[in-house]
Structure 1
Amino acid sequence: MVSATVVNVSAQANAIPMLNGTNFKVWKKNVEIVLGCMDLDLVLRTERPTAITENPNTDKIEKWDRSNCMSLMIMKRSIPEAFRGSITESTNAKKFLKEIEQYKTESAHLASTSRNKNKMRDKDTAKGTPKQKKVKK
């Protein structure tokens, strides 16, 4: 029974493609599906329960903490090491996912801006130097 569970976890985690510069939406959707199928998406759907004197919520807190820990491990497994160094180390899976999304959005914006600048430069180079206006004497 235990080995079947390990095989299932591994198969589910392998269903998530390695994150690269072009597949964030596909990667995120696969992460959400896999975590949902594994019943680990609690961390993405709810905030961590708080313990109060009247109701310690021990079971709920333990379940949320497990969901968080496993979710982080599964996500980090499908992110290249070099890319992980660019993102703030988070201890909350939901925040980690948002940080990746923000980083990818900023990277895409920077890449787009850089491409546009290169196109403009190439266009200017193709035209040659701008003609100077003739000054009447």
Structure 2
Amino acid sequence: MGITASVNSASAQLSMIPMLNGTNYIMWKDNVEIVPRCMDLDLALRKEQRVPTTDDPKMDQTEKWERSNHMCLAIMKRMIPTGSRGSIAESTSAKKFLSEIEKYFSKNEKEEKSNLLSKLMTMKYK
């Protein structure tokens, strides 16, 4: 497969991820986990970074993890509106960043459900 074909394939994969908003977090997260897996970039989402020793024969695994981490962070940040990025704690680890996003949106989802429930309880039937 040539470079053009792999760029087109990557672009098609990325287009599957919707822009994150307050109502689609679960679908967004599923896609953010699936797309890097299909592109063989999900190592950073599955494992924590190992600190290599000086005589570590698996140095290429560290490089693979770093590439995976960098790409996953870029993919996630691309699919988060600029206005929401400031509300989410930054992280240099894709796995931790995904966890921060989950905390932020699960908190917002609980607040939204609570607001809707209180509105329903105070509505008057006409």
Deviation at 1:11, TM superposition (A): 1.0
State TM-score, norm by structure 2: 0.88
Could you tell me which amino acid in structure 1 is paired with residue 39 of structure 2? Answer: M
Where in structure 2 are the equivalents of 1:1-137 lying within 5 Å?
A: 1-55=2-56, 57-120=58-121, 122=123
Deviation at 1:57, TM superposition (A): 3.1
Counterpart CA distance in 2 for 1:67 and 1:50 is 16
Counterpart CA distance in 2 for 1:8 and 1:91 is 27
Aligned length: 124
Deviation at 1:72, TM superposition (A): 0.7
Counterpart CA distance in 2 for 1:118 and 1:16 is 32
**What SS does the aligned partner of 2:55 have?**
coil
Deviation at 1:117, TM superposition (A): 3.9
Deviation at 1:30, TM superposition (A): 1.0
Could you tell me which amino acid in structure 1 is paired with residue 102 of structure 2? Answer: E
RMSD of the TM alignment (CA)? Answer: 1.7
Q: Check the 8 A contact 1:50/1:57 in 2, yes or no.
A: no
Counterpart CA distance in 1 for 2:10 and 2:92 is 21
State TM-score, norm by structure 1: 0.81
**Which has the higher relative contact order, 1 or 2, with Cα contacts under 8 A spaced 6 or more apart?**
2
Q: Check the 8 A contact 1:68/1:92 in 2, yes or no.
A: yes
Q: Check the 8 A contact 1:68/1:93 in 2, yes or no.
A: yes
Counterpart CA distance in 2 for 1:46 and 1:7 is 28
Which consecutive residues of structure 2, in runs of 5 or more, have no partner in the other structure? none
> Deviation digits for residues 39-90 of structure 1, max 9, x if unmatched?
0110111111211133263211100000000011111111111111110111
Counterpart CA distance in 1 for 2:45 and 2:27 is 17
Deviation at 1:103, TM superposition (A): 0.5
**Paired-residue identity, %:** 52
